[in-house]
Structure 1
């Protein structure tokens, strides 16, 4: 009898020779940029943020679209509001749901106003009201400020999205730190709002183990947008003074969540999740392990691996592998809405 494995992988996705030439060129270009430009901790966070706003940092200047609207939602902290950015479908037709987006940036960089182009695509291609929320960044505000803001916004949308936007909260999603906040918020909704079922999570190269003990984090020495030093600098701002063991607490790192216990009730299940990551990303192990845990707990998990792609690749306009991945995200959302978009 032929013995077959209970776990299978398409190993061709992990072979360097299967990366396309545009993907390789993009990686080489980003490695050069990462080496050339000063780090935010070298010049100070305020100066670095100013440079990003002016388009003087490695990544392209954010595009702010006039159709996007600014708003706020209540915080658990009395007298404080959480800023949000809203993009409604351009066709003026009723929305089919709300997509709540969490931006990346290592919990330190970026704002909710940097994602207008993403919001417009989700809104127009899937007939969604796409909303990006502005969590408090480190080092100005450290853990648990960001996840508290993310959870507060998600819980508010569960209770108010239909009344305010005419459609329920359907999706959570984000990139890197935003993927982390999407997972944390989605799991918390299962505890605090068990009556609400999300249509899906979109988790793009999320950081799920903040202890950074997985092999890919330490093995990938190239400075491709992020590396171990950059990630540790982010963590020194986000979880200052927290030990490695403390970072492995399930409240801090969702990889350590007991997912089977979370879905022990027959009426509960993990929301469908789409995981995306490139093979040149230090967070590849995070994606592989989190996907496996999701499936073990009975959840639907789709994982897409992109040969040669680096951290943040879905945000690089015009790159073929980014267009391919973003098309998968749109198809996933359409499928989970039953093709209603």
Structure 2
């Protein structure tokens, strides 16, 4: 495994991150992700406005943050639903803030970030249901939100890529496009890339096993909405871009998903980022490829948004 000097610089930095007073392995994982993203994401771009909303459900609220891009009129804006990563157990507003700001400005679209419920406190299907309910609420309230309900895309990274894939098979007719960034779509962790990168960089196999065990009840282990690599019917899925990192244990899963979509006759394109590692979208302080990927996603979005 040949890593570039910049990637080695990042990995050396990651080795020094110590979670502050972690209470247990789950808390340690959450604090580690927060520290990594805050330290490596780089300077946050200014946006026109950030609004936080609570979507009322029968027994809880779904938290949503809306990012309005610089220099864009509020009314009838295109929009992007963003579903964040973090192994289904971590992540939220602060871990993805820098990335989402860049996306809003580059795509000139409102980005709607869903802070879905996390496992193990809320295992599958809680997070997926939150994403589905939030999208439906946005569509129903599009006019009051200043959004064009006919100009909406969806983006998900890592675990959020798996959730996005599932969302799109259910209500994909609502979206103009989909982007999956190094998606987590298989609970088996038995591919060649998992063998090669069992101990990293960034992800490790034991952490993946723990995360899937926390997220996925045993009786749901073969549910395609929980394990999207099992999806056969992509009929509702919009045109899709899949971003794959070379030194990522999830790379083979992303390639497998791409092939499944192609075999189903879907419009799908993949971009392979040589030398990159899982999570490189959070490493803009060091990597030029972070901004390159933002540009690729914006170009893809513009093909389908009016």
For 1:49-101, what per-residue CA distance to the aligned partner results, in whole angstroms no more than 9, with x for missing partners? 45766xxx3442586978311112233xx142100011112224144311010
> How far apart are 1:175 and its partner, in Å?
1.0
Q: Is it true that 1:328 corresponds to 2:296 in the alignment?
A: yes
Residue 201 (structure 1) aligned with residue 171 (structure 2): no
> What residue is the counterpart of 1:310 in the other structure?
277
Looking at structure 2, the residues matched to 89 and 97 of structure 1 have their Cα atoms a distance apart, in angstroms, of 11
User: Which deviates more from structure 2 when the two are superposed, residues 29-38 or residues 310-319?
Assistant: 29-38
1:60 to 9, 15, 38: 38
Gaps of 5+ in 2: none
State the 1:305 CA deviation: 0.4
Instruction: Give the TM-score taking structure 1 as reference length.
Output: 0.78
Unaligned runs of 5+ in 1: 1-15, 18-22, 191-195, 264-268
Distance 1:181 1:41 in 2: 31
Q: Distance in 1 between matches of 2:8 and 2:33?
A: 21
Task: Determine the C-alpha separation between the residues in 2 that align with 1:227 and 1:142.
Answer: 21
Change (3 A) 1:118 1:165: farther
- Corresponding position: 1:254 with 2:221: no
Q: CA deviation at 1:250?
A: 1.2
Q: Over alpha carbons, which structure has the higher Rg? A: 1
Cα distance change of structure 1 residues 124 and 36 upon mapping to structure 2, 3 Å threshold: closer
Per the alignment, in what secondary structure is the counterpart of residue 132 of structure 2? helix
Cα pair distance change 1:270/1:103, threshold 3 Å: closer
Residues 1:201 and 1:185: Cα distance change in structure 2 (over 3 Å) = same
Question: Which residue, out of 100, 119, 122, partners 1:141?
Answer: 122
- The answer to whether the 8 A contact 2:50-2:66 is kept is yes
Cα separation, partners in 2 of 1:92 and 1:58, compared to 1, 3 Å: closer
How many angstroms apart in 1 are the aligned matches of 2:210 and 2:16? 18
User: Quick one: which of 105, 109, 113 aligns to 1:132?
Assistant: 113
Kept in 1: contact 2:238–2:267 (CA 8 A): yes
Alpha-carbon shift at residue 227 of structure 1 (Å)? 1.4
Measured at CA, do residues 273 and 189 of structure 1 come closer, stay the same or move farther in structure 2, by a change above 3 Å?
same
Give a deviation string over 1:244-302, Cα, whole Å, max 9, x none: xx52431311111112xx53xxxxx5300010011100000111111111111121111
Q: Give yes or no for contact 1:270–1:294 (8 Å, CA) kept in 2.
A: no
2:82 aligned with 1:101 = yes
Within a 5 Å distance, the mapping from 1:178-193 to structure 2 comes to 178-190=160-172
Question: Which one has the bigger strand percentage?
Answer: 2
Q: Pick from 50, 56, 63 the counterpart of residue 74 of structure 1.
A: 56
Deviation string 1:151-185 (CA, Å, 9 cap, x unpaired) is 11122223332443231151111210111111111
- Measure how far apart 1:28 and its partner are: 2.1
Aligned with 2:184: secondary structure? coil
Rounded Cα–Cα distance in structure 2 between residues aligned with 1:166 and 1:148: 22
Give the RMSD, CA atoms, in angstroms. 2.8
TM-score normalised by the chain length of structure 2: 0.86
Equivalent in the alignment of 1:235: 212
CA-CA distance at 1:122 after TM superposition: 2.6
